[in-house]
Amino acid sequence: MKRLCLPLCFLIIAIALTGCKKKEGALFYESSRKGTAEAPVKEVPKDILATQQAFTNVVKTVTPSVVNISTVSKKKLVQPFFEFSPFFDDFFGGRQRPRYRRETSLGSGFIINKEGFILTNDHVVKDAESIQVKLSNDKVYSGKVVGEDPKTDLAIIKINAREELPVAVLGDSDKLQVGQWAIAIGNPFGLDRTVTVGVVSATGRANMGIETYEDFIQTDASINPGNSGGPLLNIYGEVIGINTAIVAAGQGIGFAIPINMAKQVVGPLIKKGSVTRGWLGVSIQPVTDAVAQSFGLNKTRGALISDVMAGSPAEKAGIRQGDIITAFAGKEIKDARQLQLVVADTPVGQKIEVEIFRDGKPQKLSVTLASSESAPTARQKSVEPQAGWFGLTVEELPHNMRQRGLVGVLVTSVDPNGTAADVGIQQGDIITSVNQKKISGLAEYGQAMKDAEKKGSVALLIRRGDSSIYFAFRIK
């Protein structure tokens, strides 16, 4: 009887322990949704599903035309200072050969036609000794630069593919509106064909100091190193821009070159490897509220001519210093930047009608642009003035300056706490006119300033070196 009780006790204890053991949970929960609403969120709004599908369609359609560009370039090393000493050769014997290092870089681009031409940024392929282009099917081809335009940071490279190539479709960046969807595709940090989504944050961004001709699209679609040269797309899969730059100090601020600007240079780059632009031959500066009031312009618009180069198309057309260009080739000129872009895009040798504001009334002139290649090498730059007044001491021009043909009065000192210093007027500047009245000496300067006080505003034309600059402001 005892022998039977012992196994029975063990059995009872085992059953009890089994009942006390904690049941293990599932390692994960897998959805059984097969096209039906069995997910945690039962009903997803149809517009969200449609938007998601739209992004998917764009990426699936356009990604094959996006390429990965890798380059190898040779960079000259900066030699230590002492190697340039005249005593260096005495100690080490013989001139040392310059040293170089190999650098590799990654970028993006997109195929624009079936002949294998690829649009990218100039800085992606600049100074490259070798270029490798990787397609979406992982095939790799050697690329060759056929044209570069540093002023817009655009370049065309070509591959000789043995297959039919997918091509991107170019859209119309002039129709962009702030708030539209923007999709960027590229190779950030070498991660092949990454897609980021955002919106068009702004258009017409300029004065960034990145390129000569700037008219950027700003977007918060992430653009990182390696994205350069890749396409910025709209929801239809059309290329609206070329990803170009980021703001290192800011998150979600990227810039793209408008595709319409690229369209202007693609043809010349493919056909002859460079771009010839129109040249007017003027120095320009913005029209501020103070400038508009001083010149009698009823609206702050246009570009103020601060100087006209001798022998230039502008001089031949009769454009003068102090004119405000308000329209060019039928397009209203809103600011100095727009004039620069319009002139650059105008064909060389074409006769253009220019509307100017002179002596308080509008006039029309005809000008025939020359090639930018015919411009003097030392091009004058436009200078942006600021507003302010007084704190100036002026004197008659010294005899040696008059012998050189200079006319006006010389600024001999500027009060650092005065408004003249705030605007940027400097000692050594020459005031040549006050409110479009030429100044030959102190007497004329004094009378012109009295007239300006009655008017309540003044525009000074100042000669600084080889440049002429307008400073306009109100007199309180």
Catalytic residues, which ones? Answer: 123, 153, 228
Q: Residue 357 and residue 344: Cα distance in Å, rounded?
A: 22
Q: Residue 306 and residue 463: Cα distance in Å, rounded?
A: 10
